Chains A and B, each alone.
Chain A
Amino acid sequence: MTRAVGQFAAILATALFIFSLLWMNDPKTARRGVGAGVAGMLVAVLATWIQPEIVHHGWIVLAIIAGFIVGVPLSRVPLTAVPQRTALSHAFGGLAAGLVGTAKYFLWVGESPEQLTAFRMSAIVAEVILGFLTFTGSLMAAGKLQEVKWIPQRPVTYPGQNFVNIGILVIAVALGVLMVVQPTAAWSGQVFLAIVGLAVLFGVLLIIPIGGADMPTVISILNSYAGLAAVAMGFVLDNKLLVTAGALDGSSGLILSIIMCRAMNRSFTNVLFGAFGTVQKAAAIGEQKVWKQETVEGAAQLLEQARLVVVIPGYGMAVAQAQHKVRELYDLLTKRGVTVKFAIHPVAGRMPGHMNVLLAEADIPYTALVEMEEINPEMPQCDVALVIGANDVVNPAARYAKDTPIYGMPIIDADKAKTVLAVKRSKNPGFAGIDNELYVQDNTWMLFGDAKAVLGDVVKQFGGGGLH
């Protein structure tokens, strides 16, 4: 009877998870999706808990309470820290899969070796490799995003790096094959632990050469791995619910990775093994042109006289926490009859959708957020393109400069606007290490400084009576 309940619960939970994702197709229904997800999870947990083989309840209760104690604060981080929270949760997902795989292996070796069929052993190896590489890889990614001191932010590369990385993975897989052939030999336990160690090491080494601008893609790939680790766990435990839920997560990560890669015109392998941003080629485009600086008064005037303003936010806006000042400016301009739109590049920020969430936090209606493909045809009619802390995603060099790492990447055509106002923290080049000719265009005016401070000053110009 409880078995049947368990089977039915698995079907019900799968259906609820599918609805949960289905409702994410529109912001209007999305919150219902969370409800469906919670319901599915509740059904799955309770149906498992009532099974007859669960005889010890104390530790389960303790672990659940501990999960709440850590989970609740983790859900309240500032939205600028959402990328690192996401990476951290991928790490937890990988850890759980890796530990369950390890526990099950040693359990079966000790008690019922006949359970370790070739199929099951392959699933355990896949679960453990995916789980532990996701664990350390995601921890590294979270550390880089959080700018932890002892993790270098810039990509770290050395000669033969790809050879070392792929070599480690190949050894781990080869040991895995050995385990499938000989799951219960006297040395099998040591080999198993060696696979764990190699996966842990591979996760770290995989992320070391990756820099900030690639994080949206890398987080998506790790998301996919975490899902696949759950699928492998499903194969190990003979549990279809794990397989379906893991597959949903895995395919979500896969689609996001593909979208992110396309938005940078790069391939998976290029992201993981290409060490973006290390090619510090001095893109000497003609003679060195000079910046033209604009005053906040001038900027305010330009904005007020515009009919269409397109704001192009980037990671700089997130770093400066400038989204609330952006909102004030948005209000002032729309009140004066100026149309304000936000152009969102798919890889702006540090994770997919990062800019949308920050702008939504500042109460900017999502109807004002426009995707790159939709805004680009409108750019020639745009009076002022206001670039806030974005760099590579508006660099015209992406269209023709073949020797730069951003070549071929689709960009927001800020340079086609009648006037460009660019808010920039420093005069350093962007992440890709190349100069941005947008900033030295004839119709571009620069506002140097912290985005929040600069925009605050611009907003003051409107309120201070200098303009009317």
Chain B
Amino acid sequence: MTESLMAAQAAGVEHAAVDYWSMLFVFVLATFIGLGVIRRVSRLLYTPLMSLTNAISAIAVVGSIVVTGAEYPTTIRVLGAIALFASMTNIVSGFLITDRMLKMFKKQ
């Protein structure tokens, strides 16, 4: 193994480690933003809030699309397709029912 290759490998490992830290960083920041924003949500709207966050967390759809659509073995893609179906159901029903409920809140 040449020295330059070893250096490149070390750099690669270093790079991967740094990336994980930045992911954790993003997670912590997003959680604090979430706590700050949710704390201000009107108590009247807790039920629609839950269906809305439900639809938003169905962002798992992004991962499911990759697993379903990439050049992977069929069994893997079947699992992906089921996950995609489940996420899509949440997106559709979550946003629709949230809007349906919010329409009902009238001032007078």
Scan A34-56; emit 1 where CB is below 8 A from any B CB, else 0: 10011011001100110101111
B104-A361 in contact (CB<8A): yes
Q: Is the CB of B45 closer than 8 A to any CB of chain A?
A: yes
B34–A247 contact, CB under 8 A? Answer: yes
Residue in contact with A248 in the complex, picked from B56, B65, B66, B86, CB distance below 8 Å = B56
Q: Which residue of A lies closest to B96 (CB)?
A: A75
Q: Are A55 and B71 in contact (CB under 8 A)?
A: yes
Q: A89-B94, A96-B87 are known contacts. Are A60 and B65 too (CB-CB below 8 A)?
A: yes
Q: Which stretch from A17-25, A384-392, A394-402, A456-464 is at the chain B interface?
A: A17-25
Do the beta carbons of B58 and A93 come within 8 Å of each other? yes
Q: A64 within 8 Å of B by Cβ?
A: yes
Q: Once bound together, how far apart are the Cα atoms of A353 and B102, in whole Å?
A: 12
Q: Which of B23, B42, B100, B101 contacts A234 (CB 8 A)?
A: B23
Contact with B along A325-351 (1 / 0, CB 8 A): 000000000000000000010100001
CB <8 Å contact, A96 and B58: yes
Q: Which of A56, A254, A367 has the most CB of B within 10 A?
A: A56
A244 engages B47 (CB within 8 Å): no
Interface size class of B (residues with CB under 8 A): 35 or more
Docked-complex contact B65 and A54, CB < 8 angstroms: yes
Check if B35 sits within 8 Å of A255, measured CB to CB: yes
**Partner-contacting stretch, out of A97-105, A407-415, A441-449:** A97-105
Are A106 and B57 in contact (CB-based, < 8 A)?
A: no
Query: What residue of chain A has the Cβ atom nearest to residue B32's Cβ?
Result: A251
Whether B93 and A248, one on each chain, are in contact in the complex, defined by CB atoms closer than 8 angstroms, is: no
Partner of A92, one of B26, B42, B89: B89
Identity of the chain B residue whose Cβ is nearest the Cβ of A255 in the assembled complex: B38
The 19 listed contacts between A and B (C-beta, < 8 Å) are: A17-B56, A20-B52, A21-B49, A24-B49, A41-B59, A56-B70, A60-B68, A63-B88, A70-B89, A74-B89, A74-B97, A75-B94, A75-B100, A103-B76, A235-B23, A249-B56, A253-B50, A351-B47, A366-B106
User: Chain A: residues with CB nearer than 8 A to chain B?
Assistant: 13-14, 17-18, 20-22, 24-28, 30-31, 33-34, 37-38, 40-41, 44-45, 48-49, 51, 53-57, 59-60, 62-64, 66-68, 70-72, 74-77, 79, 82, 85-86, 89-90, 92-93, 95-97, 99-100, 102-104, 106-107, 110, 117, 119, 219-220, 223, 226-227, 229-231, 233-256, 344, 346, 351-354, 356-357, 360-361, 363, 365-367, 369, 371
Measuring CB to CB, which residues of chain B are less than 8 angstroms from any residue of chain A? Answer: 16, 19-20, 23, 26-27, 30-31, 33-35, 37-73, 75-77, 79-108
8 pairs of A and B residues whose beta carbons are closest in the complex:
A67-B88, A71-B92, A353-B46, A251-B34, A249-B57, A75-B96, A247-B30, A352-B46
